[in-house]
Amino acid sequence: MKKILFVSCIALLAIGCTNNDSKDSKSADTSKMADAKMTDVKMPEMPYSLDRPYQNWQTGDPQHAVTVMKGLRAFETGDIASCVTTFGDTVELRFDYMHTTVGNDSLKKILTQQRADYSNITIKMSDWESVISADKKEQWVTLWYKQIQTDKKGHTDSLGVVDDAKIENGKIVILDEKIQHLGPPKKM
């Protein structure tokens, strides 16, 4: 009986040592990958192809995020004149049911009409990111936030919003907005 117990303990010890060795080698491989630059890592075969090559995005200028958020804050408070100063002379708008390119003066009219529909808008920022392509040709800012809006009739609604803003020369030239209707805020 002691021999069987002894042999079983040795077998378990051997299996345990083997598993730890493979875990150590896997974690060593992972740490080597983490130290490598993205350009040094071979991309795996992706299930979908891209229309253009992968951009290898890197952290961009946080000042661009400040610009985009200042424009959003101005829209939130109804200061459309300040809002449009964050946009370029020509802007491509990609909204739900709207895809158009307009001049800054037309943008001002569009945003004035949109903002006039609401008596109150409140933005609760969740996160933001500023990125630049590896070739330094494209810069984008992404904002994730919740927008609580009350229309002129007193109906309140909440939206989950993701804004992607392309930046050129420090100004927004594309605004691509995705929304999810969350419904009225729940009362606690």
- pLDDT over threshold 80, residue 4: no
Q: How confident is the model at residue 54, as a pLDDT?
A: 83
User: Taking all residues of the chain, what is their mean pLDDT, rounded to a whole number?
Assistant: 84
Q: How confident is the model at residue 142, as a pLDDT?
A: 98
Q: How confident is the model at residue 184, as a pLDDT?
A: 64
Confidence of residue 31 (pLDDT cuts 50, 70, 90): very low
Tell how strand 87-95 and strand 171-181 pair up: parallel
Residue 165 pairs with which residues in a beta bridge? 141, 175
Task: Please tell me the distance from the alpha carbon of residue 131 to that of residue 60, in angstroms, as a whole number.
Answer: 4
DSSP characters for the chain? -HHHHHHHHHHHHHHHHHHHHHHHHHHHHHHHHHHS-GGGSPPPPPSS--SS-----EE--HHHHHHHHHHHHHHHHT-HHHHHTTEEEEEEEEETTEEEEEEHHHHHHHHHHHHHTEEEEEEEEEEEEEEE-TTSS-EEEEEEEEEEEEETTS-EEEEEEEEEEEEETTEEEEEEEEEEE--SPPP-
Q: How confident is the model at residue 46, as a pLDDT?
A: 86
- pLDDT over threshold 50, residue 35: no
Confidence of residue 2 (pLDDT cuts 50, 70, 90): very low
Whether the model pTM is above 0.85? no
Q: How confident is the model at residue 130, as a pLDDT?
A: 98
Confidence of residue 37 (pLDDT cuts 50, 70, 90): low
- Poorest-pLDDT segment among 135-139, 151-155, 182-186: 182-186
- pLDDT over threshold 90, residue 80: yes
- pLDDT over threshold 90, residue 36: no
